[in-house]
Amino acid sequence: MIQYDVVVVGGGAAGMTAAIFAKRAGRSVLLCEKMPKLGKKILASGAGRCNILSDKVGAEFYNTEARALAASVFGQFGKDKILGFFKELGLEVYTQDDGRMFPVTDQASSVLKVLEMELERLKVSVGLNCEVKNLHIIQGGFELKLSQATPSPFRHTSLDGSVLWRISSLPSKRGRGPGEGGRGDVRCGEVILAGGGRSYPALGSDGNAYALAQKFGHTIVEPVPSTVALLVKDPWCHSLQGQKIRAAVTNRIQNKNIRTVSGELLFTQYGLSGTAILDVSEEISIAMNRERIREIQVEADLLPSFSEEALKTELSRRLARGISAEHLLEGLLPAKFSAAMKSLLGKKDLAAIILDLKHRRFKVDGTRGWNEAEFTAGGVATGEVHVKTLESKIQKGLYLAGEMLDVNGHRGGHNLAWAWASGAVAGSQK
């Protein structure tokens, strides 16, 4: 039976970082990834560009329950250390005007490649198509039951498909030798669970690793889609389908305004999307999908650059000039809005028109699903790990990192910041 000091479960951003830091600490490491390649979600992040970080890294960008944990982790491995880590690996980054950071190549594949190269340099053992089916305690550590979906020996391939390195086959339960595949048993002193959340399950993040944490008594805060488009049945969504504007959007839960965000508002055949909607979707998804609240609305200010008084003055000026109702919004909003508001504009009721333009409310019927959610809200309760080490308070030697934990950051590089930092902290422990 093969013995390692550390087994890392999950070959995403947090898992690869944890494996690198564990190996740098002088320990033998096995990185298990159930997909055929490492880092598939990294390749999809930032629309293929990988928003690697934000120029502002701090606990305030995360859900309230996670802030004490995030503050501790970023206190140990914050923005400067994350940037230094990637600089050491050879990755250059730049910062956009909005504070988001990307590799200078504008290719997510560059981020994955430098991580792969470091794993290769350190000779980290990597098992692909390798899922941890069971995990239990033995004297001195853990024993893992692994399924291996492809023939042994395990091998890691680069983005172009070439073999980077190989490791010896895991022995099967039936004693099959190298090259015969099957199940394998591995023992280790420590386990780092970095299996990810549930968003984009086709890329390997389906929440299965939560069950491994539950075996030891960990509480799983119900995972729900986050940073996700909303289902809305409204005539505007049909007549304005495909239209995108800049707007200020507020999520309203049980008639209470929760958060207002400015950004893009996109009307779709199923409802509402765009960056502003994605940014207010977390509270909505938690309320609808976890707390089963149904009294939820989105309020949109379609002309945030105008105060109500200024808008009234401008519309009055236009009417005084004899501009017809059908052209009253020309130059203020795209032409589709005049058609969508035709009936209201025809009445020339300025108070009603301004109310629709500044406080248009949409009843939310639901959220889009896991295949479209960028992140997961939920996971292992943050109070069940030590804030300094990310070691489980329930099971010694068990560590958790990345989206395994109930840590959900704002859009714009904060979730990857948490992945790099938590992976580094969990992997650095001895």
DSSP 8-state secondary structure symbol assigned to residue 391: B
The helix (H) or strand (E) run that includes residue 227 is none
Q: Express each pLDDT in 20-60 by its tens digit.
A: 999 999 999 999 999 999 999 999 998 899 999 999 999 99
Q: Express each pLDDT in 60-73 by its tens digit.
A: 999 999 999 999 99
d(CA 57, CA 415): 10
As given in the structure block, the two tokens for residue 194 are 């970095």
In CATH, what class is 2-225+369-428? alpha beta
- pTM (2 decimals)? 0.88
d(CA 395, CA 192): 12
Average pLDDT over residues 325-348: 94
d(CA 168, CA 166): 7
d(CA 430, CA 424): 12
Q: Which residues in the chain are classed under CATH 3.50.50.60? A: 2-225+369-428
As given in the structure block, the two tokens for residue 326 are 């059908």
DSSP 8-state secondary structure symbol assigned to residue 255: T
- Per cent of the chain over pLDDT 70 is 91
- Within 167-228, strands assigned E span 182-193, 220-226
d(CA 111, CA 113): 5
As given in the structure block, the two tokens for residue 32 are 């298990």
Q: Express each pLDDT in 338-377 by its tens digit.
A: 999 999 999 999 999 999 999 999 999 999 999 999 999 9
- Within 64-197, strands assigned E span 93-95, 100-103, 125-127, 130-138, 141-148, 155-157, 163-166, 182-193
Question: Is the Cβ–Cβ distance between 381 and 218 less than 8 Å?
Answer: yes
The helix (H) or strand (E) run that includes residue 424 is helix 414-428
